């Protein structure tokens, strides 16, 4: 590691007992620009969010603890193809609908490229939901504690804490200095690999809920005494994150401070970072962490001074985040499969050949609960409609296929994503792109991780002239197909 323990300890030891609040010069931050391209905060209906998340499908859960989490987060996609994250609170949370809406609207006024900006909310009956930008590249906890190939580079760790400090500074300037349970799960990475602070933490999990859900060893001491979160409490949590990034482990602050006092810095620093930073840089980060972790809240630095302290430490500032993170960039993804290529160039004949070849094998596992009466009275008629539709589809009798598949769908006794996909293609070949898009989206509602539904959406969007949205759907289809193939390869 090459860290000089005596040098580090001397600096941190003095900060423990002679810590005054760091003051920063009043400088403008060019990277703190507000985001202009996002829509204004709005209220969604429950039906819209059900459709966006395929009925809150288990496959769309992105919460670290899945269905067992008290408040579950789902990924979803709106009708305009914007990808979203939806936080669904438990039934007991926020009994006062007006208070929930007021809080959500207040957070929704924030717009900054260091945040996962809040796009809207839903408040129907006893349902309380928040809608934010979707971040596709996992959480800091995943990259820091559960990495599979390469540990996070020192330069990227420094970028994470700077972006986080800038996010907190922006929120403070806008009058939202309180953040509840700041931890490594609250920092996510966007499609370019840039770290963002989740806006979900700017609201409590409920009106009377706790502000901290993590282990008590990581909770600010004043919160344990009073049960109240303050701006200084947020800085304490920032200090625990500095320790996380320095050590690559979730070390309790009291233990970390003991290591500093005992001059045992080797136990505090991540061995994976050996040779990546200088003694001075290590000294400064440990000093900053120990100041954030001061027992007395008034002795901790403020967000503005954190930004001032972290800015000169940045390394490889010209390198894009996705390069430092080692993740694929949004502008380039894996070579497309034949179906992906066909959808990309809107080759409807090639798409038809693929859909006919795969037949209905992707419908396996789709739940169809039918009573015995339905089987005896309606099933034969329903199956006949599908069979006639399949014959028409094979012969490229587009109108006949649309009519028969519509009879099958309207019968309501069975659901089939493949039927929707086939009717979608028929609509496309019949120059009815909006109807094709609707069917492709319905296929994804039935089967949320089906790549063909995304590919057909891409083709439909391209015909409708929505090229950017088409590229997003195409990338999503390629990602889903790659995951499916990887899963099949492990079986």
Q: Which residues are catalytic?
A: 181
Q: Cα–Cα distances in Å, from 2 out to 10, 213, 275, 277, 445?
A: 16, 36, 7, 9, 54
Q: Cα–Cα distances in Å, from 486 out to 199, 363, 449, 480, 491?
A: 33, 19, 14, 10, 9
Q: Do residues 322 and 310 touch, judged by C-beta distance below 8 A?
A: no
DSSP secondary structure code for residue 70 in this structure: S
Number of H helices, E strands in the chain: 20, 8
Handedness of CA 373, 359, 363, 473 (dihedral sign): negative
Strand-strand pairing, 195-198 and 187-189: antiparallel
Q: Do residues 31 and 170 touch, judged by C-beta distance below 8 A?
A: no
Handedness of CA 158, 291, 164, 65 (dihedral sign): positive
Q: DSSP characters for 339-394?
A: HHHHHHTT-HHHHHHHHHHHTTGGGTT------HHHHHHTHHHHHHHHHHHHHHHH
- SS3 category, 465: coil
Place of tokens 């099949």: 488
- Report phi then psi at 286, rounded to 5: -65, -40
State CA 446 to chain mean position distance. 22
Burial 444-481 (b: 16+ CB within 10 A, else e): bbbbbbbbbbbbbbbbbbbbeebeebbbbbbbbbbbbb
Q: Which two tokens stand for residue 409?
A: 């769908």
Q: Which long-range contacts (CB under 8 A, 24 or more apart) does 203-206 make?
A: 203/103, 203/104, 203/107, 203/130, 204/180, 205/70, 205/71, 205/89, 205/93, 205/180, 206/89, 206/90, 206/92, 206/93, 206/94
- SS3 category, 23: coil
Strand boundaries in 89-238, DSSP class E: 115-116, 118-124, 127-133, 187-189, 195-198
Q: Do residues 242 and 288 touch, judged by C-beta distance below 8 A?
A: yes
Q: Cα–Cα distances in Å, from 98 out to 67, 191, 317?
A: 27, 34, 44
């Amino acid at each position: 590691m090459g860290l000089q323990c005596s040098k580090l300890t001397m600096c941190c030891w003095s900060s423990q007992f002679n810590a005054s609040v760091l003051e920063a010069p009043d400088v403008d931050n060019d990277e703190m620009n507000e985001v202009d391209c996002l829509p204004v905060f709005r209220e969604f209906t429950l039906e819209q969010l059900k459709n966006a998340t395929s009925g809150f499908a288990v496959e769309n859960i992105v919460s670290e603890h899945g269905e067992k989490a008290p408040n579950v987060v789902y990924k979803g996609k709106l009708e305009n193809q914007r990808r979203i994250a939806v936080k669904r609170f438990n039934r007991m949370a926020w009994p006062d609908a007006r208070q929930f809406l007021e809080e959500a609207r207040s957070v929704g006024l924030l717009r900054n490229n260091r945040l996962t900006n809040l796009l809207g909310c839903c408040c129907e009956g006893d349902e309380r939901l928040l809608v934010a930008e979707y971040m596709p590249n996992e959480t800091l906890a995943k990259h820091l504690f559960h990495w599979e190939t390469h540990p996070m580079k020192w330069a990227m760790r420094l970028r994470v804490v700077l972006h986080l400090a800038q996010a907190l500074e922006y929120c403070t300037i806008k009058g939202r200095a309180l953040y509840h349970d700041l931890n490594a799960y609250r920092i996510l990475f966007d499609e370019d690999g840039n770290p963002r602070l989740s806006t979900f933490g700017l609201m409590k999990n409920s009106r009377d809920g706790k502000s901290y859900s993590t282990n008590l060893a990581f909770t600010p001491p004043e919160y344990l005494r009073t049960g109240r979160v303050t701006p200084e409490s947020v800085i304490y949590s920032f200090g625990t994150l500095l320790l996380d990034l320095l050590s690559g482990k979730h070390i309790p602050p009291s233990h970390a401070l003991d290591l500093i006092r005992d001059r045992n810095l080797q136990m505090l620093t991540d061995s994976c970072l050996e040779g990546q930073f200088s003694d001075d840089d290590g000294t400064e980060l440990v000093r900053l962490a120990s100041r954030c972790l001061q027992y007395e809240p008034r002795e901790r630095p403020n967000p503005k001074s954190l930004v001032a302290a972290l800015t000169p430490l940045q390394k490889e500032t010209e390198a894009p985040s996705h390069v430092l993170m080692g993740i694929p960039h949004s502008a380039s993804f894996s070579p497309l499969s034949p179906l992906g290529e066909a959808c990309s160039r809107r080759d409807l004949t090639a798409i038809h050949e693929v859909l006919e070849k795969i037949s209905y094998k992707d419908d396996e596992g789709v739940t169809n609960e039918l009573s015995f009466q339905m089987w005896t009275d309606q099933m034969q008629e329903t199956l006949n409609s599908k069979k006639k539709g399949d014959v028409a589809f094979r012969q490229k009798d587009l109108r006949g296929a649309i009519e028969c598949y519509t009879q099958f769908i309207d019968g309501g006794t069975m659901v089939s994503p493949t039927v929707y996909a086939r009717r979608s293609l028929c609509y496309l070949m019949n120059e009815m792109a909006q109807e094709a898009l609707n069917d492709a989206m319905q296929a994804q509602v039935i089967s949320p991780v089906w790549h063909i539904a995304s590919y057909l959406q891409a083709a439909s969007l391209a015909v409708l002239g929505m090229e950017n949205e088409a590229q997003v759907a195409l990338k999503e289809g390629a990602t889903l197909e790659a995951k499916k193939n990887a899963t099949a390869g492990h079986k």
